[in-house]
Amino acid sequence: MNRFASFSLALTSAMLLSACVFAPPVHTSNNPSDVTKMSEQALATCGAGNVKEVNAKSFSCK
């Protein structure tokens, strides 16, 4: 390898390893109506007595 290729490889590696990753913050809803709507959907989907967990964004069945 010549000097330019070695320098380019080293510079590219340094740039890739020092890259910053930005992830937007996760917003949780504190709105009770969101939980109520999800609870109603969970009951309709899972059936009464079969709902394991409900939050503002999702639910799970037993």
What ranges do the domains of the chain cover? 31-62
Q: Rounded to an integer, what distance in angstroms lies between the CA atom of residue 40 and that of residue 6?
A: 62
pLDDT at 43: 93
Predicted pLDDT of residue 52: 93
Radius of gyration of the chain (CA): 25
What global pTM score does this model have? 0.51
Measured from the Cβ of residue 59, the count of other Cβ atoms closer than 10 Å reads 19
Tens-level pLDDT at each residue, the chain (62 residues) = 588 888 888 888 877 777 666 666 666 666 788 889 999 999 999 999 999 999 888 899 98
Note the pLDDT of residue 46.
92
